[in-house]
Structure 1
Amino acid sequence: MIIYQHFTFDAAHFLPHVPQGHKCRNLHGHTYHLTLYITGEIMEKEGWILDFSDLKAIAQQVIGTLDHTLLNNIEGLSNPTAELLAKWIWQKLIPLLPGLKKIELKETPASGVVYNGD
């Protein structure tokens, strides 16, 4: 079974390696939408895979680092594309959430990335 929980955070960034004149080379911000998918067995006593409040507390350890920041200033995110940000989030969460199956990170309502550690 897979459970999921959705989070949002706001952050600014710029993409230093895109061509001159590209709009994303300029400083700009997004409201990111992050969905975490956790796989596991249903615990017999509790009746769930993971308490959603525990999942939220774990996720906030990482999201709190990103929220209302300039992503380029975070160690390991000097080129914070959606793809590299998703990978960074994954690497921070996987030790905390061993059942993490995949993440979905939306930079805009119509654009995003799905990452499963591959």
Structure 2
Amino acid sequence: MFRITKEFHFSASHQLTHLPADHQCARLHGHNYIVEVELSADELDENGFVRDYHELAPLKRYIDERFDHRHLNDVLGHDRVTSEWLAKHFFDWCKQRLPETSAVRVSETPKTWAEYRP
């Protein structure tokens, strides 16, 4: 199995209003997010790639236009915008456009990652 990954970065705010008021994530706050997309294939294409990295440009545009410097609760229309949920959201978006998508990881801090891998 061949695997490639690419990182995308954005900054955004969110608020987990369903949590108790004394929970730090219940307050409005922001993160410098990292989204890492993994693509996998049993065989390489005629150019020796799983997929050309340039073909991931639509994901960069999607993140830059829809997520960067936004309030994620407003963008996604709910109050449970966790790293886990974002990983699943970006996985679904990528899988529709890039069938080789095998996992997506999202980081909110340098020490934490959430991953969605079916």
**Structure 1 and Structure 2 fold alike (TM over 0.5):** yes
User: Letter of the aligned partner of 1:48 in structure 2?
Assistant: F
Provide the C-alpha distance between the structure 2 equivalents of 1:96 and 1:61, rounded to a whole number of angstroms: 13
8 A Cα contact 2:21 2:27, kept in partner? no
Separation (CA, whole Å) in 1 of partners of 2:62 and 2:19: 27
- The correspondence of residues 35-114 of structure 1 with structure 2, limited to 5 A, is 35-40=36-41, 41-44=43-46, 46-55=47-56, 57-64=57-64, 65-114=66-115
- 1:98 alignment partner, SS class: coil
Query: How many residue pairs end up in the alignment?
Result: 115
Deviations 1:10-29 (A, max 9, x none): 11001011111111111111
- Which deviates more, 71-80 or 17-26? 71-80
Provide the TM-score with structure 1 as the length reference.
0.89
* Structure-2 residue corresponding to 1:29: 30
- Give percent identity, aligned residues only: 33
Whether contact under 8 Å (1:9, 1:31) holds in the other structure is yes
**Residues 25 and 89 (structure 1), Cα distance of their counterparts in 2 relative to 1, 3 Å cut:** same
Segment of structure 1 superposing worse, 78-87 or 8-17: 78-87
Per the TM alignment, residue 85 of structure 1 is displaced from its structure 2 partner at its CA by 1.5
CA offset digits 1:57-87 (Å, max 9, x no partner): 1312431211111000023543201111111
Given the two structures, how large is their TM-score scaled by the length of structure 2? 0.89
> Are the counterparts in 2 of residues 3 and 37 from structure 1 also a CA contact under 8 Å?
yes
Q: Which runs of 5+ in 2 are unaligned?
A: none
